[in-house]
């Protein structure tokens, strides 16, 4: 048994050369359960100077790992997948404990991570390269090489799934991977590193270094790290993209979002209402694919009424998970306070919701703000909580103009029973992931995850085939053989 949540370490270790290693840093912060307020452990904020040893062990391991044929490398991932399934309950519990998600949500997130592992096991089928006789007797073929030591920096909101967007595929590609999880939710990462070791991964191929800005900047600057995958807020994504690319690294940095769900009058009322509800309250609204704005086109009152009715019946702690921290809770309620002050209609007030959760938890009920002007902060900013703003328009084109004007481009969805309307919207909405009657349009494998504009810096998607391109460099080999076999030295 590899994950024992009953005996969490007092101080979360780093994971270096296949072992738990105590950070030498004197800087630490508590890991606090958002659902109870209980301190679970302390996490070290590793010093930049600690990164050298991690990269050195990773570089040594990577040379040997790259020499292992890809068909053998993915065998580790087949075993990792089996271990994840065997330990799904414990990993989900750990994820829920440190993040405050409901247990069912945590299970679903681990299951989605497992899909990414499955995709990585297909690498031998996906990365066979190309060959062509480019002129008589001259052949060109391409082969993929690992990039070397690479890194991933991840956010608090999916402590198991987002790391699994990154490290399984990067490792299958022959890289050694240095993971820097969110310091707010560091526990799942070491648990997964232990499972990778148990699956047979050679020591040093996967490392975990805990920390904050200091270690992120050190990763961006370190000459031994050749590529960085980042997932987090737009502000930090931009910083990481700029800093790591200035050092010549490959960088793909996913940022925040403000997702619009457009509802037109012919939408199926019950399906639309339940779907909008799930989109804005799931993971307590703390996901980059969450619905944040409903753009109501014309008269869709029965649907809005039903969303309100269903949301009002939700009990925080039972149906809605916890907010990550008291500071995030205050930031979210600040948006509601200001919307109220500005005269917007608070159709449902989550500040008043009765919680079934622990008294020390950061709970907030679903909140619906109606009649938001398109330029109001509640319709423009990423609130990252269970808060839905409703903007009213008369036409679909007005709704599209609002969606198109927002600086993010992660997801957008339309609810309609008319295929032509759906196609009109899908062609014109400016986002990387479009939903038709689906409020969380996460592309499942083999389709790739990635937004546009301020939701992503750097080219390509973070998962799927474009991620294989990211975690590899392609070598083109042009070959010409003269026909001299009779004088071959072997004969
Ligand atoms: P965050 O940007 O605060 O943190 C992400 C990572 O960056 C963490 O590992 C953190 O330690 C590090 N970091 C934080 N501040 C830093 C700084 N100043 N300099 C260098 N590194 C820094 O994000 P978060 O609050 O953990 O996560 C929530 C955000 O992530 C939301 O904006 C959400 O939309 C976004 N997100 C996006 C996606 C996506 O696919 N686009 C997926 C999940 C989350």
Counting ligand 1 atoms within 8 A of each CB, the residue from 151, 154, 155 with the most, and so the one to mutate, is: 155
Residue with tokens 């290693």: 21
Whether the predicted pLDDT of 408 surpasses 50: yes
Confirm whether 485 is domain-assigned.
no
Q: Is the dihedral of CA 245, 251, 256, 257 positive or negative?
A: positive
Residues 220-251: tens digit of each pLDDT: 999 999 999 999 999 999 999 999 999 999 99
> Please, where are the H alpha helices in 369-414?
377-380, 396-405
Bridge partners, residue 334, by sequence = none
Residues 302-352: tens digit of each pLDDT: 999 999 999 999 999 999 999 999 999 999 999 999 999 999 999 999 999
Catalytic status, residue 283: no
Check whether residue 176 and residue 32 sit in a common domain: yes
pLDDT, position 406? 97
Q: Maximum distance among all alpha carbons in the chain?
A: 91
What is the average pLDDT across 148-167? 98
Q: How far is the CA of 183 from the centre of ligand 1 (A)?
A: 10
Is any ligand 1 atom within 6 A of the Cβ of residue 455?
Answer: yes
Counting ligand 1 atoms within 8 A of each CB, the residue from 232, 257, 442, 449 with the most, and so the one to mutate, is: 232
Confirm whether 444 is domain-assigned.
no
Check whether residue 430 and residue 297 sit in a common domain: yes
Which residues are CB-neighbours of 78 under 8 A, at least 6 positions away?
Answer: 121
Residues 123-139: tens digit of each pLDDT: 999 998 899 999 999 99
Nearest atom of ligand 1 to the alpha carbon of 212: 11
Whether the predicted pLDDT of 2 surpasses 60: no
Q: What is the CATH number of the domain that holds 391?
A: 3.40.309.10
Q: How confident is the model at residue 484 (pLDDT cuts 50, 70, 90)?
A: low
Average pLDDT of the chain to the nearest whole number: 96
Check whether residue 242 and residue 292 sit in a common domain: no
Check whether residue 304 and residue 410 sit in a common domain: yes
- Which residue among the candidates 116, 220, 283, 288 is catalytic per the annotation? 288
Check whether residue 414 and residue 297 sit in a common domain: yes
Confirm whether 379 is domain-assigned.
yes
331 class by beta-carbon count within 10 Å (0-12 exposed, 13-18 middle, 19+ buried):
middle
pLDDT, position 482? 81
Strands 225-231 and 452-453: unpaired
∠ CA 153-473-164, nearest 5°, is 30
Whether the predicted pLDDT of 60 surpasses 60: yes
Going by alpha carbons, the residue nearest to atom 30 of ligand 1 is 232
* SS3 assignment for 252-274: EEECCCCEEEEECCCCCHHHHHH
What is the average pLDDT across 78-87? 98
Check whether residue 136 and residue 285 sit in a common domain: no
Check whether residue 183 and residue 195 sit in a common domain: yes
Cα–Cα distance for residue pair 409/417, rounded to 1 Å: 24
Confirm whether 487 is domain-assigned.
no
Which residues are CB-neighbours of 301 under 8 A, at least 6 positions away?
Answer: none
3-state secondary structure of 52: helix
Check whether residue 347 and residue 470 sit in a common domain: no
% of the chain exceeding 90 in pLDDT: 95
pLDDT, position 491? 57
Check whether residue 241 and residue 288 sit in a common domain: no
Confirm whether 155 is domain-assigned.
yes
Check whether residue 288 and residue 348 sit in a common domain: yes
pLDDT, position 1? 42
Check whether residue 206 and residue 322 sit in a common domain: no
Domain carrying residue 41: 5-255+455-476
Residues 415-456: tens digit of each pLDDT: 999 999 999 999 999 999 999 999 999 999 999 999 999 999
Q: How far is the CA of 383 from the centre of ligand 1 (A)?
A: 14
DSSP states of 113-171: HHHHHHHHHTHHHH---EEEEEETTEEEEEEEEE-SEEEEE--SS-TTHHHHHHHHHHH
Number of domains in the chain: 2
Q: What is the CATH number of the domain that holds 124?
A: 3.40.605.10
Whether the predicted pLDDT of 91 surpasses 80: yes
Q: How far is the CA of 104 from the centre of ligand 1 (A)?
A: 23
130 class by beta-carbon count within 10 Å (0-12 exposed, 13-18 middle, 19+ buried):
exposed
Q: How far is the CA of 221 from the centre of ligand 1 (A)?
A: 18
Work out the number of other CB atoms within 10 angstroms of the CB of residue 101.
29
């Amino acid at each position: 048994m590899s994950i024992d949540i009953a005996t969490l370490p007092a101080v979360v270790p780093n994971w270096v050369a296949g072992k738990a290693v105590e950070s030498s840093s004197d800087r630490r912060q508590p890991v606090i359960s958002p659902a109870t307020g209980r301190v679970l452990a302390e996490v070290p904020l590793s010093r930049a100077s600690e990164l050298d040893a991690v990269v050195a062990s990773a570089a040594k391991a990577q040379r040997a790992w790259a020499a292992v044929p890809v068909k053998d490398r993915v065998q580790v991932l087949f075993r990792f997948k089996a271990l994840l399934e065997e330990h799904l309950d414990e990993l989900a519990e750990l994820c829920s404990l440190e993040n405050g998600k409901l247990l069912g949500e945590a299970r679903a997130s681990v299951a989605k991570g497992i899909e990414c592992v499955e995709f990585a096991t297909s690498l031998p089928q996906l990365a066979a390269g190309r060959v062509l006789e480019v002129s008589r007797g001259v052949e060109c073929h391409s082969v993929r090489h690992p990039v070397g030591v690479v890194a991933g920096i991840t956010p608090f909101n999916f402590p198991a799934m987002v790391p699994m967007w990154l490290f399984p595929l990067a490792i299958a590609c022959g890289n050694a991977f240095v993971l820097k999880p969110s310091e707010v939710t560091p526990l799942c990462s070491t648990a997964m590193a232990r499972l990778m070791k148990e699956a047979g991964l050679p020591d040093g191929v996967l490392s975990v270094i805990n920390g904050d800005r200091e270690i992120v900047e050190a990763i961006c600057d370190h000459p031994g790290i050749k590529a960085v995958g980042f997932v987090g807020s737009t502000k930090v994504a931009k910083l990481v993209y700029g800093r790591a690319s200035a050092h010549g690294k490959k960088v793909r940095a996913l940022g925040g979002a403000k997702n619009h769900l457009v509802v037109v009058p012919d939408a199926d009322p019950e399906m639309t209402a339940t779907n909008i509800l799930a989109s804005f309250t799931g993971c307590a609204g703390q996901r980059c694919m969450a619905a944040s704005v409903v753009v109501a086109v014309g008269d869709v009152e029965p649907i809005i009424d039903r969303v309100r009715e269903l949301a009002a019946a939700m009990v925080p702690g039972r149906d809605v998970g916890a907010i990550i921290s008291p500071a995030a809770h205050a930031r979210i309620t600040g948006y509601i306070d200001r919307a109220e002050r500005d005269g917007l209609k608070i159709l449902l007030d989550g500040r008043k919701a009765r919680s079934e959760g622990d008294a020390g938890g950061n709970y907030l009920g679903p909140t619906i703000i109606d009649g938001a002007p398109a330029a109001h902060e509640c319709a423009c900013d990423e609130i990252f909580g269970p808060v839905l703003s409703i903007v009213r328009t008369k036409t679909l084109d007005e709704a599209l103009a609002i969606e198109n004007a927002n600086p993010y481009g992660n997801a957008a969805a339309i609810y309609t029973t008319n295929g032509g309307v759906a196609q009109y919207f899908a062609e014109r909405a400016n986002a990387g992931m479009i939903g038709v009657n689906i409020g969380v349009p996460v592309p499942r494998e083999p389709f790739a995850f990635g937004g546009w504009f301020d939701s992503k810096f750097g080219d390509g998607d973070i998962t799927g085939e474009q991620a294989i391109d990211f975690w590899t460099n392609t070598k083109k080999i042009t070959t010409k053989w003269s026909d001299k076999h009779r004088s071959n030295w072997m004969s």
